[in-house]
Amino acid sequence: MIARTGTCPGAAALVFGTLLAAPAMAQFAKPEDAIKYRQSAFTVMGNHMGRLAAMAKGERPYDAAAAQSSARIIDTIAKLPWEAFVPGSDQGKTGAKPELFANLADVRSLAERLNGETGKLTEAAGNLDAMRKQVGATGAACKACHEKYRNM
């Protein structure tokens, strides 16, 4: 690296600013790609939440190994959608409300709430009663954000 940023504060700020801004955008060539990415993550998460909910309600036989496998997937995928709310992705085939993009700090904290709940899901899924409770808490965290920021 031959970056002589020490000589000029303006250049240093420019380099630093670029480093901060680059990672989020660089993952997606177009806003449509970001929309597709986050919707895909939500779809997978929704599918596995559906499997757990069916077991919780007794619509499907409880299987601890399958439940814990779904819980692990949910906990991993629940970390993915958030970086994809990039500028420009408020337009197009999206179910995200325009307000979301003006409230990214709030979205971040709702996402953190979800991650807190999904972090407890895998252990809970090893026991039917514990799973019922934790699926409820997780579902409430999904709903809290959807009510504010998703067009239903």
The site for ligand HEC (CB under 6 A) is made up of 35, 38-39, 42-43, 45-46, 49, 78, 94-96, 100, 107, 110-111, 114, 138, 141-142, 145-146, 149-150
Beta carbons within 10 angstroms of residue 99's beta carbon: 12
Phi, psi of 91, rounded to the nearest 5 degrees: -105, 150
For the CB of residue 30, give the shortest distance to ligand HEC in the complex, in Å.
Answer: 14
Shortest CB 26 distance to ligand HEC, Å: 20
Q: Which of residues 128 and 139 has its CB atom nearest to ligand HEC in the complex? A: 139
Residue among 132, 144, 138 at smallest CA distance from 118: 138
Nearer to ligand HEC, 66 or 145 (CB): 145
Which residue, 66 or 137, is less far from ligand HEC as judged by CB? Answer: 137
Tokens linked to 111: 């996402």
Helix and strand counts by DSSP (H, E) for the chain = 6, 0
